[in-house]
């Protein structure tokens, strides 16, 4: 595709590339403070990963949370050997960092200076595991076993002013500020001067590869070509390099860093014998370019290909390489409309209706504004196929450009609105999806290389509108779109139709489900970017990929890279890289122009670089198939058991029951304050991961085996660490161990034996004593019993006499009652007859008063007769045998009402069915008869109601008789049951005052209760209880 637009009219707009280079690093700076002082002369890391600073004030172990001063003094050089040892050069000579129980210590390694005072010196390691150091009067070559001092023939200066530049095979250069170059040849074991007069001074140098050496000289930055013997053959200037380079560092991936005296730091990539340098700026804000917080660079340290430490006059700065380069600094900060890489060297993008051509093998790129004759319309989405660049327009058009010529334009305005996506297949066909306007659109469009248009709709297998089509690496075409039952289709080329392969989703996919994009890998997995987030479809099953904090976000684009990782654009959360169950987030902190992504604007070019369109511009990955940074595995800073320091053991960590474990840990991934920690404890019922600070405390763990796992992560661009694992066991309490149980059993046995024996002896003594006391007691009781028997016989004789007398008295009382009743009733009957005779004799002479008095006389007679009958009835209660029987109260009440001949103005009702009770029927009839007749007798209203009700509990039947009469005041309710007691004058009502007394006596005899509930003028309710029948009563009857 290169050069296919050369015949078009275009405007080339070449921007300065330096701002682009500013987007290569994220910056974290740490200023001098009370805990961190002095000019930083050198920076290095130890084998554990801690950063160390050699300053004029002392040696520091640095972390951005708590810098630690290890030793005061002037330290000039830090050197990490190829085996990971850290050598430290200062006023005390060369010392080696060692750790003892996690604490750093400095051990003497070499003192080459003796009594000489040294301000500056150089140190280097050659590839034969030997070290070189400059001292004022020579160069010392040393290793663990020996050291040897060398001089240089012809050199008359101070050796500490020389540069040491390692070559290969143990060889090296010494370079002076006067331009002299001396080469050490291991075979000759001496330095020889090389003749090269192109420059007079060399202040910094570094080997780039086997055949190139980069030097900063009085003639500027020079790239020298060398031979295998270290001879400089030629050199050439490096254009665009700064003028005050103080140091040169080369990274493992071909990057070159230049530290300057007053112009900050520069970065360039070496390749094809060329280096393009650009100044590094602060790129933390993707929309601004800011200067770094320093000018003079005093030291450089490359801790990894992605991390560069810079020492300067204000402190230190960490530069972290970004994953993505923000090209939006050279383009409008606006939504990307279309994106189409044509090759690894050429990409097209449309932003705000303008088409841009981006060229170059790597960042920084050249950008051209391409003119297209589409007015008044603008370019939309794009797709490249071979030498063709297919382009849609906002006028619902589709065409392609090939070799500088524009094809015939296809117009789809009669079908719908914008064609919002186009994708190609291996045969050069274009598959497009169009938005509807006046009618629903189902399926896809297919445009052949000859511009033939074929529509695939319901008749071709589709059931809904499609949003994307994508061909898998193994040749099968898939389409995806709208609907929970119609979101994924496979193209059947033999039948030229699409087959719905959607399967039910067993997760919450929300309303209006859509698939926006498809990513397909070589393993046949289909990744779906959808309204429900990231989905994986494989082997007829679909699942949701859940990322904490993004459960409700849409995925708007998907691509699979050659390493098998899938990349998703999230609607407002940047990019997600997902592989092997682990995810990495990429956002503005990793170079994206914005975190708001665009539908289907995620593309991988043929070199493996990822191009991303956002709502605020375009970016691309700096490297092909970008890999995430790896967070370092956490390590213990402090581990204590029961308050005492503890060093973990490999084989066994056993603690007694109740042990308290406290731990603090650190992941040496800088900046440390941005590390996030998580932990879990395997062996507990709940072993889920939980977030935590950099420390935790464990106590009250039950006996058992456990594994504490701690992992770390950073917010963006990092793959979480492997977990730190600490296996330990908590022992049982002593009494739960086998020996404790055995001891307790044995002790218990001995104790019980002693207790039983002691108890036996005490018991036997007590028994003998009790036996003696019992014999005495038996004798006493026998004597008393004889005396009691005598008295009892006497009492029995007296009791028989009393019973006989009582029986005689009762008979006499009954005879008396009968005689009294007969003798009293006879005169009363005579008086009654006399009154009748007198009335007959005076029949013609009786007037009102005589007649009234005669009626009153007979009334008194009747009352006296009733009173005598009542007294007899009351007396008989409890004295006459009354056999209990089962009485059906429903029938009994009806009979009572009939006998009483209740007046017609009364309504007598039974509220619910009455039970069968165990009682004498005559007595029960007497109870209801007295209560009902009382209600009739004392009624004072034109219409009367009498209601009989019933309820029961476990032991009693409870009855109530309620009337609507005048009521009984509370102060008379107890008196109502007294014999001869009436509540009205006896002359006003014919009443003896015995009825209620009889009722109460009957109920009391049957162990029941009776009481009154009443208020004046509101009627009266008589309540009474009768015990329920007992089984023996039902079988044999009860006799009272």
What is the tens place of the pLDDT at every residue in 510-529?
Answer: 999 999 999 999 888 999 99
Sign of CA dihedral 155, 157, 160, 165: negative
Across 837-850, average pLDDT = 69
921 and 1031 co-located in one domain? yes
358 and 454 co-located in one domain? yes
Residue 1038: which pLDDT band, with cuts at 50, 70 and 90? very low
Is residue 131 assigned to a domain? no
Please state the three-class secondary structure of 833-883 as a single string: HHHHHHHHHCCCCCCHHHHHHHHHHHHHHHHHHHHHHHHHHHHHCCCCCCE
pLDDT for the residue numbered 870:
57
CB neighbours of 285 closer than 8 A, spacing ≥ 6?
none
pLDDT for the residue numbered 3:
36
CB 519 within 8 A of CB 534: no
Q: In whole angstroms, what separates CA 428 from the centre of its chain?
A: 49
CB 88 within 8 A of CB 59: yes
820 and 903 co-located in one domain? no
CB neighbours of 995 closer than 8 A, spacing ≥ 6?
870, 930, 933, 934
Instruction: Give the H/E segment covering residue 820.
Output: helix 738-841
Contacts by 798-805, CB closer than 8 A, 24 or more apart = none
CB 517 within 8 A of CB 479: no
Across 845-871, average pLDDT = 66
Across 998-1020, average pLDDT = 88
Q: Per-residue pLDDT for 878 more than 70?
A: no
Across 336-354, average pLDDT = 87
Residue 848: which pLDDT band, with cuts at 50, 70 and 90? low
Q: Give the integer Cα–Cα distance in Å for 528 and 568.
A: 9
Under DSSP, the state recorded for 711 is E
Q: Which of 11-15, 126-130, 949-953, 1007-1011 has the lowest mean pLDDT?
A: 11-15
Q: Give the integer Cα–Cα distance in Å for 428 and 573.
A: 35
| CATH number of 972's domain | 3.30.565.10
| CATH number of 347's domain | 2.130.10.10
pLDDT for the residue numbered 984:
63
885, two tokens: 């029987």
Q: Which of 692-701, 782-791, 877-886, 933-942 has the lowest mean pLDDT?
A: 877-886
Instruction: Give the H/E segment covering residue 933.
Output: helix 921-937
Short-list 852, 862, 865, 855, CA closest to 835: 855
Is residue 59 assigned to a domain? no
Is residue 862 assigned to a domain? no
Residue 815: which pLDDT band, with cuts at 50, 70 and 90? low
| Listed residues 796, 820, 855: the one ending a domain | 855
Percentages helix, strand, coil for the chain (3-state, rounded to 5) are: 20, 40, 40
Q: Per-residue pLDDT for 18 more than 80?
A: no
pLDDT tens digits, one per residue of 601-629: 999 999 999 999 999 999 999 889 999 99
Q: Per-residue pLDDT for 71 more than 80?
A: yes
Q: Which of 7-16, 297-306, 777-786, 977-986 has the lowest mean pLDDT?
A: 7-16
pLDDT for the residue numbered 103:
83
Across 208-213, average pLDDT = 89
| Listed residues 732, 767, 796: the one ending a domain | 732
Strand ranges inside 22-74, DSSP E: 25-31, 40-45, 51-55, 58-62, 68-72
466 and 358 co-located in one domain? yes
In whole angstroms, how far apart are CA 27 and each of 290, 469, 889? 10, 41, 103
Residue 640: which pLDDT band, with cuts at 50, 70 and 90? very high
The tally of domains found in the chain comes to 5
Under DSSP, the state recorded for 623 is S
pLDDT for the residue numbered 394:
79
CB 310 within 8 A of CB 299: yes
Under DSSP, the state recorded for 631 is P
pLDDT for the residue numbered 83:
82
Q: Give the integer Cα–Cα distance in Å for 717 and 207.
A: 31
Q: Per-residue pLDDT for 196 more than 50?
A: yes
Q: Per-residue pLDDT for 1000 more than 50?
A: yes
Is residue 762 assigned to a domain? yes
Short-list 357, 368, 374, CA closest to 411: 374
Short-list 8, 600, 623, 516, CA closest to 339: 600
Beta bridge partners of 883: 1039
Q: Per-residue pLDDT for 864 more than 60?
A: yes
pLDDT for the residue numbered 576:
96
| CATH number of 681's domain | 2.60.40.10
Q: Give the integer Cα–Cα distance in Å for 784 and 128.
A: 123
935, two tokens: 């209600």
774 and 659 co-located in one domain? no
pLDDT tens digits, one per residue of 371-422: 877 666 788 888 888 889 999 987 788 999 888 788 888 999 888 988 999 9
Q: Give the integer Cα–Cα distance in Å for 439 and 415.
A: 8
Is residue 981 assigned to a domain? yes
Q: Per-residue pLDDT for 489 more than 50?
A: yes
Q: Give the integer Cα–Cα distance in Å for 950 and 962.
A: 11
Q: Per-residue pLDDT for 532 more than 90?
A: yes
pLDDT for the residue numbered 824:
63
Q: Give the integer Cα–Cα distance in Å for 866 and 379.
A: 125
Instruction: Quote the percentage of the chain above a pLDDT of 90.
Output: 36
Please state the three-class secondary structure of 296-344 as a single string: CEEEEEEEECCEEEEEECCEEEEEEECCEEEHHHHCCCCCEEEEEEEEC
Is residue 1027 assigned to a domain? yes
Highest mean pLDDT among 186-190, 389-393, 557-561: 557-561
366 and 308 co-located in one domain? no
pLDDT for the residue numbered 586:
95
**Neighbour tally for 88: CB within 10 Å:** 25
Residue 31, exposed/middle/buried by CB under 10 A (0-12, 13-18, 19+)? exposed
Q: Give the integer Cα–Cα distance in Å for 256 and 261.
A: 17
CB 572 within 8 A of CB 598: no
- Number of residues that this document lists for the chain: 1040
Pairing of strands 724-730, 654-655: parallel
167 or 363, higher pLDDT: 167
Packing angle, helices 738-841 and 848-876, rounded to 10: 150
Backbone torsions φ then ψ of 268, nearest 5 degrees: -150, 160
Please state the three-class secondary structure of 635-687 as a single string: EEEEEEECCEECCCCCCCCEECCCCCEEEEEECCCCCHHHCEEEEEEECECCC
Residue 115: which pLDDT band, with cuts at 50, 70 and 90? low
pLDDT for the residue numbered 820:
60
669 and 646 co-located in one domain? yes
354 and 475 co-located in one domain? yes
In whole angstroms, how far apart are CA 942 and each of 63, 588, 935? 107, 99, 13
972 and 827 co-located in one domain? no
Task: Scan for tokens 């960490």, then name that residue.
Answer: 318
Q: Give the integer Cα–Cα distance in Å for 302 and 539.
A: 46
661 or 757, higher pLDDT: 661
Is residue 217 assigned to a domain? no
CB neighbours of 915 closer than 8 A, spacing ≥ 6?
889, 950, 952, 957
825 and 949 co-located in one domain? no
679 or 898, higher pLDDT: 679
Which range marks the domain in which residue 590 is found?
A: 327-481+551-627
CB 993 within 8 A of CB 973: no
Residue 866, exposed/middle/buried by CB under 10 A (0-12, 13-18, 19+)? middle
In 3-state terms, what secondary structure has residue 396? coil
Residue 256: which pLDDT band, with cuts at 50, 70 and 90? very high
Residue 818: which pLDDT band, with cuts at 50, 70 and 90? low
Is residue 178 assigned to a domain? no
pLDDT for the residue numbered 327:
83
Q: Give the integer Cα–Cα distance in Å for 14 and 19.
A: 13
Across 452-474, average pLDDT = 95
In 3-state terms, what secondary structure has residue 165? strand
- Tally of CA atoms within 13 A in the half-sphere of 260 that contains its CB: 19
Q: Give the integer Cα–Cα distance in Å for 88 and 491.
A: 67
Q: Give the integer Cα–Cα distance in Å for 130 and 164.
A: 13
889 and 1021 co-located in one domain? yes
315 and 382 co-located in one domain? no
Q: Per-residue pLDDT for 43 more than 60?
A: yes
Task: Scan for tokens 């004597």, then name that residue.
Answer: 783
Q: Per-residue pLDDT for 281 more than 90?
A: no
pLDDT for the residue numbered 991:
62
Short-list 294, 295, 301, 299, CA closest to 311: 299
Q: Per-residue pLDDT for 292 more than 70?
A: yes
Across 576-584, average pLDDT = 94
pLDDT for the residue numbered 365:
82
Residue 1035: which pLDDT band, with cuts at 50, 70 and 90? very low
pLDDT for the residue numbered 2:
35
Instruction: Quote the percentage of the chain above a pLDDT of 70.
Output: 87
Phi/psi class of residue 227: alpha, beta or left (left: φ > 0; alpha: ψ in -120 to 50)? beta
| Listed residues 732, 750, 781: the one ending a domain | 732
């Amino acid at each position: 595709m290169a050069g296919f637009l050369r015949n078009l009219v275009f405007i080339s707009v070449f921007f300065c590339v330096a701002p682009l280079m500013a987007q290569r690093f994220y910056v974290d700076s740490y200023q001098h403070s009370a805990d961190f002082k002095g000019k930083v002369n050198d920076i290095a890391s130890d084998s554990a990963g801690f950063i160390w600073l050699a300053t004029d004030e002392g040696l520091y172990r640095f972390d951005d949370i708590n810098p630690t001063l290890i030793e005061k003094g002037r330290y000039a050089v830090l050197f990490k050997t190829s085996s990971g040892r850290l050598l430290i050069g200062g006023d005390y000579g060369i010392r080696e960092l060692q750790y003892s129980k996690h604490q750093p210590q400095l051990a003497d390694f070499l003192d080459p200076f003796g009594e000489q005072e040294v301000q500056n010196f150089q140190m280097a390691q050659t590839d034969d595991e030997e070290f070189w150091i400059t001292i004022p009067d020579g160069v010392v070559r040393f290793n663990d076993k020996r050291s040897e001092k060398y001089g240089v023939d012809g050199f008359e200066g101070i050796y500490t002013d020389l540069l040491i530049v390692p070559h290969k095979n143990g060889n090296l250069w010494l370079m002076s500020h006067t331009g002299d170059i001396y080469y050490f040849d291991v075979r000759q074991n001496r330095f020889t001067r090389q003749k090269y007069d192109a420059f007079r001074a060399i202040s910094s140098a570094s080997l780039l590869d086997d055949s190139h050496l980069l030097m900063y000289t009085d003639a500027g930055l020079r790239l020298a070509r060398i031979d295998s013997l270290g001879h400089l053959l030629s050199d050439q200037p490096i254009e665009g390099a700064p003028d005050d380079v103080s140091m040169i560092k080369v990274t493992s991936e071909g990057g070159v860093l230049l530290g300057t005296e007053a112009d900050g730091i520069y970065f360039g990539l070496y390749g094809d014998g060329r280096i393009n340098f650009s100044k590094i700026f602060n790129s933390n804000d993707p929309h601004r370019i800011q200067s770094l917080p320093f000018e003079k660079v005093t030291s450089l340290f490359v801790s990894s290909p992605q991390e560069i430490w810079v020492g300067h006059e204000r402190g230190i700065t960490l530069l972290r390489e970004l994953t993505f380069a923000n090209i939006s600094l050279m383009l409008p900060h606006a939504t990307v409309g279309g994106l189409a890489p044509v090759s690894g060297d050429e990409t097209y993008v449309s932003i705000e209706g303008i088409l841009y051509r981006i060229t170059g093998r790597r960042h920084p790129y050249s950008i051209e504004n391409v003119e297209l004759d589409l007015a008044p319309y603008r370019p939309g989405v794009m797709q490249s196929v071979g030498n063709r660049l297919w382009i849609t327009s906002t006028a619902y058009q589709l065409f392609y450009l090939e070799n500088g010529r524009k094809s015939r334009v296809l117009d789809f305005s009669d079908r719908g609105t914008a064609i919002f996506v186009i994708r190609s297949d291996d045969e050069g066909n274009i598959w497009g999806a169009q938005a509807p306007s006046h009618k629903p659109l189902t399926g896809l469009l297919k445009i052949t290389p000859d511009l033939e248009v074929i529509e695939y709709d319901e008749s071709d297998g589709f059931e809904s509108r499609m949003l994307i089509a994508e061909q898998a690496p193994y040749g099968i075409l898939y389409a995806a779109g709208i609907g929970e039952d119609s979101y994924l289709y496979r193209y059947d080329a033999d039948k030229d139709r699409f087959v719905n392969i959607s399967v039910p989703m067993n997760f919450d996919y929300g309303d209006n489900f859509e698939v926006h994009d498809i990513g397909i890998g070589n393993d046949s997995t289909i990744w779906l970017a959808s309204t429900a987030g990231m989905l994986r479809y494989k082997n007829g099953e679909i699942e949701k990929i859940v990322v904490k904090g993004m459960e409700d976000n849409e995925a708007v684009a998907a691509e699979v890279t050659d390493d098998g990782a899938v990349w998703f654009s999230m609607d407002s959360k940047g990019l997600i890289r997902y592989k092997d169950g682990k995810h990495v987030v990429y956002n503005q902190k990793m170079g994206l122009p914005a975190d708001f992504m665009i539908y289907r604007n995620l593309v991988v070019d043929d070199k493996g670089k990822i191009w991303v369109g956002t709502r605020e511009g375009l970016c691309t990955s700096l490297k092909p198939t970008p890999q995430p940074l790896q967070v370092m595995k956490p390590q213990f800073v402090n581990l204590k058991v029961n308050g005492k320091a503890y060093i973990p053991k490999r084989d066994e960590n056993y603690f007694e029951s109740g042990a308290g474990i406290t731990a603090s840990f650190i992941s040496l991934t800088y900046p440390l304050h941005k590390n996030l920690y998580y932990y879990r404890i395997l062996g507990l019922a709940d072993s889920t991961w939980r977030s935590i600070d950099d420390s935790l405390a464990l106590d009250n763990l039950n006996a058992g085996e456990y594994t504490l796992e701690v992992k770390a992560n950073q917010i963006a661009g990092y793959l979480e660490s492997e977990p730190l694992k600490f296996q330990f066991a908590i022992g049982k309490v002593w009494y739960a161990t086998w020996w404790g149980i055995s001891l307790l059993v044995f002790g218990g046995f001995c104790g019980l034996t002693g207790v039983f024996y002691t108890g036996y002896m005490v018991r036997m003594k007590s028994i003998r004593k009790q036996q003696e006391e019992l014999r005495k007691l038996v004798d006493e009781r026998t004597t008393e019993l004889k005396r009691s028997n005598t008295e009892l016989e006497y009492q029995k004789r007296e009791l028989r006499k009393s019973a006989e007398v009582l029986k005689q008295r009762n008979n006499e009382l009954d005879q008396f009652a009968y005689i009294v009743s007969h003798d009293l009733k006879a005169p009363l009957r005579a008086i009654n007859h006399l009154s009748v005779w007198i009335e007959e004799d005076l029949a013609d002479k009786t007037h009102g008063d005589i007649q009234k008095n005669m009626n009153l006389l007979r009334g008194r007679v009747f009352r006296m007769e009733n009173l005598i009958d009542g007294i007899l009835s009351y007396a008989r209660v409890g004295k006459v045998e009354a056999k209990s029987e089962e009485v059906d109260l429903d029938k009994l009440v009806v009979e009572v009402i009939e006998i009483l001949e209740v007046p017609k103005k009364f309504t007598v009702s039974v509220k619910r069915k009455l039970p069968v009770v165990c009682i004498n029927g005559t007595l029960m009839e007497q109870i209801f008869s007295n209560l009902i007749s009382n209600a009739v007798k004392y009624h004072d209203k034109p219409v009367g109601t009498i209601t009989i009700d019933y309820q029961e509990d476990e032991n009693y039947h409870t009855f109530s008789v309620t009337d609507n009469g005048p009521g009984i005041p509370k102060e008379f309710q107890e008196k109502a049951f007294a014999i001869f007691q009436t509540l009205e004058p006896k002359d006003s009502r014919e009443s003896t005052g015995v009825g209620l007394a009889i009722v109460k006596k009957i109920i009391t005899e049957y162990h029941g209760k009776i009481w009154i509930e009443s208020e004046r003028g509101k009627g009266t309710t008589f309540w009474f209880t009768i015990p329920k029948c007992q089984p023996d009563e039902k079988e044999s009857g009860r006799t009272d």
